[in-house]
Chains A and B, each alone.
Chain A
Amino acid sequence: MRWIPWFALAALGAGFAAWLAAILEPVAGLLPQCAFKHLTGLACPTCGMTRCLEALGRWDWPAAFHWHPAVAACAALVPALALWDLRRAWRGDRYPRLPDAPAARVVLWLILLGVWVLQAARGI
């Protein structure tokens, strides 16, 4: 299993999803509204992801950052991650374990909550 570049394969899948989103953009208006936003009036943490994906499919990076900064930032990091994963798989190294430090978990929680607050405050 360690010789399979899982993240690089996932990056290919994500690229395909962005390409597909751009193709399907004309029918995006048929998609129902986010159920969470519909019920509460507030954006959910993932609100803006579809529009961000469509923008990425058009290679429109400013729009992608506008709709969902976290997803656009992750997308920008995908090539680097894919290269690192290909190198890891080539060398047959295991994936590193997730850090056990509580601080790492707290930082990720704060980032996730921060993104949610940002999306809700902007009314995305």
Chain B
Amino acid sequence: MGYPFAASLRALVRPGAAFDSPPPTLGRAVRDMAMVWLPLALANTAWTLWRALGTYDLLRRGGSPFGLLDRLGMDPTEVRDLIAMLPAPPGFGRVWPWLLLVVPLGVFGTWLHHAFWDHLGLWLLGGLKARRGFRTSLLAEAEALRIAAVGTLLGFLGYVPVLGGVLALPLLVLDGYLWLFRGFALAARHGCAPWRGLAATVVHAVLLGCFVLALVTLMLLMVRMAA
């Protein structure tokens, strides 16, 4: 019996050979993805939410964690007045049951979203010559996201005091690699050159992600800095 996630780490180190084996059925690939990714996503979201609620509460009470507002160049009075108008945060105990609904929706929504836009990116780059349909993209994404879920696990290191700050940049690079990693799965399952699969994920990022991803990344950084 190997170490947990050993196969995923091997696949990430040798992405060219990660999808050489015959593809599983779509149902099996989705089940495997959910079994690995869902528990990690639940833990990560619960932890992030708990910290975010704490930060929000602190801001409402007039605190400025680690001088966050000053660092961001915002007028603290203006921001506090604005935040004071917002409702008080609910307790974590009231919110967490909703995570059992929201996180699976987020996981499967992310899978469908990635499959849709990567498929479109692959089409834009002429990577669908083998005429394998969207189902193949769904399968490839499920396989890739099961492996890439290990990134969520490593992402917990970012919450460790001091170490989190040191690892911020390497974890960002890892995030970038895990984004591109889906391209290897797409290329292998669609039977096209790996560069087309990788470029499809880049097209996806450029078309729709450069704004949204930057926004989410900055907001997560703000939450992390504040907590």
Contact = CB atoms under 8 A, between A and B. Distances in A.
A81 to B, nearest CB: 14
Nearest to A97: B133
Nearest to B113: A10
Contact of A45 (B123, B129, B131, B207): B207
Contacts of B211: 34, 36, 44, 46-47, 49-50
A47 B128 CA distance: 30
B124 to A, nearest CB: 5
Interface in B161-176: none
Interface in A14-63: 26-27, 29-32, 34-36, 44-47, 49-50
Nearest to A43: B211
Interface in B153-198: none
B214 A109 contact: no
Contacts of A105: 123-124, 126
Contacts of A32: 214-215, 218-219, 222
Given A98-B123, A109-B124, A27 B214 contact: no
A46 B212 contact: yes
* Size bracket, chain B contacts: 20 to 34
A36 B218 CA distance: 12
A98 B222 CA distance: 40
The winner among B126, B134, B208 for most chain A CB atoms within 10 A is B134
Interface in B198-218: 206-208, 210-212, 214-215, 217-218
A84 interface: no
24 contacts: A27-B86, A30-B79, A31-B215, A32-B219, A34-B210, A34-B215, A35-B214, A35-B217, A44-B210, A44-B211, A45-B210, A46-B207, A46-B212, A49-B211, A95-B134, A97-B131, A98-B120, A98-B123, A98-B128, A100-B128, A100-B131, A105-B124, A105-B126, A112-B207
Interface of B: 79, 82, 85-86, 112, 120, 123-124, 126, 128-129, 131, 133-134, 206-208, 210-212, 214-215, 217-219, 222
